[in-house]
Structure 1
Amino acid sequence: MDKLQNIYDHPDFYEGYRSLRENPVNYNVLLEHPALLSLLPDPTGKDVLDLGCGFGEICALCAQRGAHSVTGIDLSQRMLAAAERENGGRGIRFKQMDMSQIGELGQHFDLILSSLAVHYVEDFAALAKSVADCLRPDGVFLFSQEHPIGTCHIDETAPYWVYGEDGRALYHPLNDYGRPGKREITWFVDGVVKYHRTFSQLVNALTDAGLTIERMEEPLPSPELVAQYPFFEKEYHKPSFLLILARKK
């Protein structure tokens, strides 16, 4: 897991990722981020933890909305330096830490968030247990991840989309969904590692940890967004993201 998360400190990967996120026409800005914010509980007066905080935008938002405290953790020094530079202050604490170690923070939280980071974690069941242990009663765990029907593919050379003669995507082949585990892909650089889990594994890990799932979302583009950017129509064949909100009773 450490090897993968540290890929963000690889200079070529970091610059590629940064360029992607700085482009306003990207899936994070137009699909994942709005969905996450639509599920975000009111952080006013709450202690908030962001797992894999990246550039710290969600940390800054929670602080602006009146959170009592905000802690953002990430394993990448480059990401944390950018977070301090761009979203520091406001009482936010940024810390270099693997999310599997959150028990070492010695603090309980009302809200634990994670945006597109848990698919980098090898043992999601252990993470869910750690999150539950760090949540106060009635606390919320809200996370997004790459959709399981997108993380499943083992053979990177196999077609990811099947296109018609007019160039439009017809469908997304589904391969190896029932074979959970490590996936190694090329994304900006070779050797990026992620982990595929089935829906049942995700749900069971959360419930086994004592969390109750209250909401799941698979965000889809609006007709207006598709009209403006036709490539988003592919989301109706294969959504890119899965979001889950779970609560500790």
Structure 2
Amino acid sequence: MKQNKYDDTDFFEKYSQMARSVGGLNAAGEWESLRPMLPDLHGKRVLDLGCGFGWHCRYAREQQAQSVVGVDLSEKMLERARSMTDDPHIQYVQLAIEDIAFASEQFDVVISSLALHYIERFDLICQKIHHSLTVGGSFVLSVEHPVFTSVAAQDWHYGQLGEKLHWPVDNYYLEGSRVARFLENDVVKYHRTVAHYMNVLIEAGFSIKKLSEPKPTQEMLANSPVMRDELRRPMFLMIAAKKTG
């Protein structure tokens, strides 16, 4: 199923007010962990799947990538991305991730940040990405952690005084769709186990180079005491993979 919540005016306005939408990569809690997982982008041809406002696209060009293609289904997201971009070497394409059909070895690096847990067939996407990458090319992705997605409510279990007792994990092995609430809207996400993500990548022809379950930095903990709760369960899963010969 191809979702396009971001072209809903109310949803888009709420998303536009989020810290990461205003402050970019430096306001995204996972960025400090994702950035070191990226390969050297100098001279590389980069594809960003689910590019949103284009933050990763512009970062790639700052790192002197040769060219960047950003793909997103939302017209509103791409309109904002184009308004923030003044670079002829960045191309934004309105397209569902499920529908990508790029040429063989068209890219050296593929990035996808917090988009692929909205895609039903992760295996098919990995096959398409493998096809579009050069041998030795990199695929770096982040998704919501399976501990985070296993229960549709995606919320803490609270005590009588409203204290956060624990993060519930249930039906972990029951993979498939979950209807979660995000920005006061119902959104379909797809829960997969950690093993599923890893094995699908391996079966598609990738070797796993690094795995990360990032936690808040000391700076984040110092700036916001609420962030200490983020030490109690992982929210993100990040994988750096390479196309084997």
- For normalisation by structure 1, the TM-score amounts to 0.90
What is the aligned counterpart of 1:143 among 118, 125, 141?
Answer: 141
Query: Structure 1 residues 189 and 195, CA, compared in 2 at 3 Å: closer, same or farther?
Result: same
Map 1:146-225 → 2, pairs under 5 A = 146-154=144-152, 156=153, 160-163=155-158, 169-225=164-220
- CA-to-aligned-CA distance 1:217-244 (integer Å, 9 cap, x gap): 1111123421321111112111211110
**Unpaired runs of 5+ in structure 2?**
none
| 4+ aligned runs moved over 6 Å, structure 1 | none
- Indicate yes or no: 2:236 matched with 1:241: yes
Query: Structure 1 residues 189 and 107, CA, compared in 2 at 3 Å: closer, same or farther?
Result: farther
- Alpha-carbon offset, residue 35 of structure 1: 1.5
What is the aligned counterpart of 1:113 among 111, 114, 123?
Answer: 111
- Alpha-carbon offset, residue 164 of structure 1: 5.7
RMSD of aligned Cα (Å): 2.1
1:213 alignment partner, SS class = strand
**1:53 and 1:114 in contact (8 A); partners too:** yes
CA–CA separation in structure 2 for the residues paired with 1:86 and 1:164 = 44
CA–CA separation in structure 2 for the residues paired with 1:81 and 1:42 = 28
In the other structure, the counterpart of 1:10 is 8
CA–CA separation in structure 1 for the residues paired with 2:41 and 2:163 = 42
CA–CA separation in structure 1 for the residues paired with 2:139 and 2:46 = 10
1:142 alignment partner, SS class = strand
In the other structure, the counterpart of 1:89 is 87
CA–CA separation in structure 1 for the residues paired with 2:28 and 2:115 = 18
1:178 alignment partner, SS class = coil
**Unpaired runs of 5+ in structure 1?**
none
2:101 alignment partner, SS class = helix
Match for 2:117: what amino acid?
A: H
- Alpha-carbon offset, residue 101 of structure 1: 2.3
CA–CA separation in structure 1 for the residues paired with 2:25 and 2:180 = 19
- Alpha-carbon offset, residue 31 of structure 1: 2.1
Q: Percent identity?
A: 38
In the other structure, the counterpart of 2:130 is 132
Query: Structure 1 residues 187 and 94, CA, compared in 2 at 3 Å: closer, same or farther?
Result: same
Query: Structure 1 residues 196 and 187, CA, compared in 2 at 3 Å: closer, same or farther?
Result: same
Segment drifting more, 170-179 vs 109-118? 170-179
**1:55 and 1:87 in contact (8 A); partners too:** no
**Number of aligned positions between the proteins:** 243
CA–CA separation in structure 2 for the residues paired with 1:188 and 1:64 = 31
